[in-house]
Homo-oligomer: A and B are copies of this chain.
Amino acid sequence: MTGTLFLIGTGPGNPEQMTPEAAHAVEKAEEFFGYFPYLDRLLLRGDQRKIASDNREELDRASAALTRAATGINVAVVSGGDPGVFAMAAAVCEAIEKGPAAWRDIEIVVTPGVTAMLAVAARAGAPLGHDFCAISLSDNLKPWEVITRRLKLVAEAGLVIALYNPISKARPWQLGKAFEILREVLPGTVPVIFGRAAGRPDERITVMPLAEADPGVADMATCVMIGSPETRIIARPNLPDLVYTPRFYAGDSH
Contact = CB atoms under 8 A, between A and B. Distances in A.
Interface string A24-67: 10000000000000000000000000000000001000000000
Given A21-B14, A132-B133, A237-B104, A84 B142 contact: no
A15 B108 CA distance: 21
Given A114-B114, A131-B134, A86 B247 contact: yes
Contacts of A58: 247
B153 A246 contact: no
A153 B150 CA distance: 9
Given A86-B130, A128-B84, A157-B149, A244 B14 contact: no
Contacts of A143: 249, 251
A249 B141 contact: yes
Interface stretch (A68-76, A118-126, A215-223): A118-126
A58 to B, nearest CB: 7
A201 to B, nearest CB: 15
A133 B136 contact: no
Contacts of A169: none
Contacts of A85: 118, 128-129
A254 to B, nearest CB: 12
A184 to B, nearest CB: 16
Contacts of A126: 83-84, 89-90, 92-93, 110
A239 interface: yes
A53 to B, nearest CB: 16
A167 interface: no
5 contacts: A18-B20, A93-B129, A130-B141, A133-B159, A146-B249
Given A16-B19, A87-B129, A150-B158, 5 more contacts: A84-B127, A89-B244, A90-B245, A93-B125, A146-B251
Interface of A: 7, 11-12, 14-21, 24, 58, 82-87, 89-94, 96-97, 104-105, 107-108, 110-115, 118-119, 121-123, 125-136, 141-143, 146, 149-150, 153-154, 156-159, 199, 232, 234-239, 242, 244-249, 251
